[in-house]
Amino acid sequence: MQKLLFSLFILIIFSACNNKTKTLASADTARVTDATYYFVRHADKVRAPNIGNNPPLNANGKARAKFWAKQLKDVDFDAVYSTNFKRTRSTALPTAKQNKLEIKIYEPSEDFYVNFKDTHVGKNVLVVGHSNTIPAFVNAVLGEQKYNEIDDSTFGNLYIVRVKDGVAEAELKDFNSWSKQ
């Protein structure tokens, strides 16, 4: 009789543990599909005659790039993307270094935008681009025309796009009145 009760007890314990494992597994699966994407325009660039179309960051821009890394220090990024310009790479660099990541170069295009969400499921990603490409990219991920081009004098917009259960929602944070510390 004791042997039968002991076997029944073990069976109940095993069943309870097994059900708990399935519950945890399904909760983990739901979390894996959620993603958060952070989009910023490159920081302040050098503006001078004859500088060309690939200017570096100015002193304020270098400080702002560090500011972004500080603001995003609690995010565990899986990837950091930048267009192949000095100003965008330099803006992305402090955050990439902070996360021990190489910067991935992307070419802004509808094809890249459309596939981005599918290839970054369950990831935290920073994307650095330009006044015209960042809003277009955010709109493509959202699947709607929500944001217009960024004014040329604006460098402090942070677009946060959260994808939960396949649905994307965006939040725009304004850090245009930041101060260097």
Query: Are residues 176 and 157 in contact, defined by beta-carbon separation less than 8 angstroms?
Result: yes
Q: Which residues contact 36 (CB under 8 A, 6 or more apart)?
A: 75, 124, 125, 160, 161, 162, 163
For residues 105-131, give the mean pLDDT.
94
Are 13 and 79 in a shared domain? no
Alpha-carbon gap, residue 85 to 107, rounded angstroms:
11
Are 87 and 23 in a shared domain? no
Q: Is residue 6 part of a domain?
A: yes
Total count of domains within the chain: 2
Are 95 and 47 in a shared domain? yes
Alpha-carbon gap, residue 130 to 45, rounded angstroms:
11
Alpha-carbon gap, residue 64 to 69, rounded angstroms:
9
pLDDT at 33 (0 to 100): 73
**pTM for this predicted structure:** 0.82
Q: Is residue 161 part of a domain?
A: yes
Are 103 and 28 in a shared domain? no
pLDDT at 114 (0 to 100): 84
State the CATH number of the domain containing residue 65: 3.40.50.1240
Q: Is residue 152 part of a domain?
A: yes
Sequence-ordered alpha helix ranges (H) in the chain: 2-33, 59-71, 86-98, 110-119, 133-142
How many Cβ atoms sit within 10 Å of the Cβ of residue 74? Answer: 5
Q: Is residue 116 part of a domain?
A: yes
For residues 7-26, give the mean pLDDT.
39
Alpha-carbon gap, residue 143 to 125, rounded angstroms:
18
Share of the chain above pLDDT 90, in %: 73
The separation between the first and the last C-alpha atoms of the chain, rounded to the nearest angstrom, is 74
Are 117 and 131 in a shared domain? yes
Q: What is the DSSP string of 123-153?
A: -EEEEEE-TTHHHHHHHHHHTS---PPPPTT
Are 28 and 62 in a shared domain? no
Residue 179: which pLDDT band, with cuts at 50, 70 and 90?
low
Q: Is residue 181 part of a domain?
A: no
Of the candidates 71, 103, 82, which has an alpha carbon nearest to the alpha carbon of residue 173?
71
Are 29 and 108 in a shared domain? no
Residue 3 domain boundaries:
1-33
How is residue 88 written in tokens?
Answer: 């965008």
pLDDT tens, position by position, 29-82 = 445 679 999 999 999 999 998 889 999 999 999 999 999 999 999 999 999 999
Asked if the model's pLDDT at residue 11 lies above 50, the reply is no
